[in-house]
Amino acid sequence: MKTEILLLLICLGAVTALTRKQEAAEQSRRRVASATTPKKQEPEEEYEDDEELVDQCPEPNGYFPDAEQCDKYYDCRDGKITDKLCPDGLVFNDFSPQHEKCDLPFGIDCTKRSKLQKPQPSPHCPRMHGYFAHEDPRNCNTFYYCVEGKFNMITCPEGLVFSEKTGICNWPDEAQKKGCGSRELFNFTCPKVNESVAATHPRYPDTEDCQYFYVCVNGEIPRRSGCKLGQAFDERSGKCDWARKIPECKDWYKDQLTDEELDALENPPPKLKSTSGPSRRKSSRPTV
């Protein structure tokens, strides 16, 4: 009699385990299914306050993302599960179950687990960590870098716009920030050209500022770009050259630089033998 009951219990246990496995399989299948049908619009941010009952580790050891909340994850040790939460503004990077890593959300796919913890805002920081756009939507090129709820204001290089989606400064046509398109920003429209000219990404001077010019990408999308200090855009060659060599711009730097300073820029004194490695001349500007 006793053995029968024991057997029955074992059987019941096995059945429960099986159903759980099936449920888990079902869940992962669902996840895969939804992965193949990406939603068009961005899902609304949802805040997760309820404690969810997840009581099973997918593997005995490792760190595993929550199925719905991007900044929540599970720490599994010998099958024992502990709920964990990333610092506000960071999300769990699920690249490997061996690593416990919370990162800024850029480049981490949270579309399937779009919920987030309740924000802990402070001045200029909608969340404790991250890159955030200026509160004034007309301000296109300053943003805040927040760490532990403390902000640093940063300004993008000339001609670029802060993109909240990527957390970096980019060309207005790439950043696609509302009210900060090329037209609003530059008041410059690319002249109509034929296909062969368009393919050369033609350049046009900024009529207000000798140092700057516009590149019309594919003849259509204007990007504002600049020459280095002391130089100006030469409409004839379509290149930057020393301002003093370009008749319309020869006095452009008059109020800013002395002739000696311009001489030094044009003919830099020979450098002593460089002891540091390769020069760091990489521009912070994305290339066209």
Ligand X SMILES: *[C@@H]1O[C@H](CO)[C@@H](O)[C@H](O)[C@H]1NC(C)=O
Q: Which residues bind ligand X (CB under 6 A)?
A: 187, 194, 196-197
Q: Looking at beta carbons only, is 55 or 208 nearer to ligand X? A: 208
Quote the least distance from Cβ 122 to ligand X, whole Å.
Answer: 35
Looking at the Cβ atoms of 36 and 196, the one nearer to ligand X is 196
Pair type for strands 168-170 and 161-163 = antiparallel
Q: How far is residue 260's CA from residue 278's CA, in Å, rounded to a whole number?
A: 29
Count CB atoms within 10 A of the CB of residue 155: 13
**Residue number with CB closer to ligand X (206 or 241):** 206
**Cβ at position 236, least distance to ligand X in Å:** 15
- Contact by Cβ (8 Å): 71, 102: yes
In terms of CB distance, is 112 or 201 closer to ligand X?
Answer: 201
**How would DSSP label each residue in the chain?**
-HHHHHHHHHHHHHHHHHHHHHHHHHHHHHHHHHHTS--SSPPPPEE--SPP-----SSSSEEEE-SSBTTEEEEEETTEEEEEEPPTT-EE--S-TT---EE-STT---SSSBEEPPP--BTTBSSSSEEEE-SSTT--SEEEEEETTEEEEEE--TT-EEETTTTEEE-HHHH--TT-SHHHHH---PPP--HHHHTT--EEE-TT-TTEEEEEETTTEEEEEEPPTTEEEETTTTEEEEGGGSGGGTTTTTTT--HHHHHHHHSPPPPPPP-SSS-----SSPP-
Cβ nearer to ligand X, comparing 37 with 194: 194
Give backbone dihedrals phi and psi of 66, rounded to 5 degrees, phi first.
-70, 150
Smallest gap from residue 198 Cβ to ligand X (A): 9
Q: Closer to ligand X at the Cβ: 54 or 193?
A: 193
Rank residues 192 and 228 by Cβ distance to ligand X and give the closer one: 192
Q: Give me 15's structure tokens.
A: 């059945």
Decide whether 73 or 213 has the Cβ nearer to ligand X: 213
Please, what is the minimum distance in Å from the beta carbon of residue 143 to ligand X? 23
- Cβ of residue 219: shortest distance to ligand X, in angstroms? 10
Smallest gap from Cβ 145 to ligand X, in A, equals: 30
Q: How far is the CB of 126 from ligand X (least distance, A)?
A: 30
Least CB distance to ligand X at residue 35 (A): 45
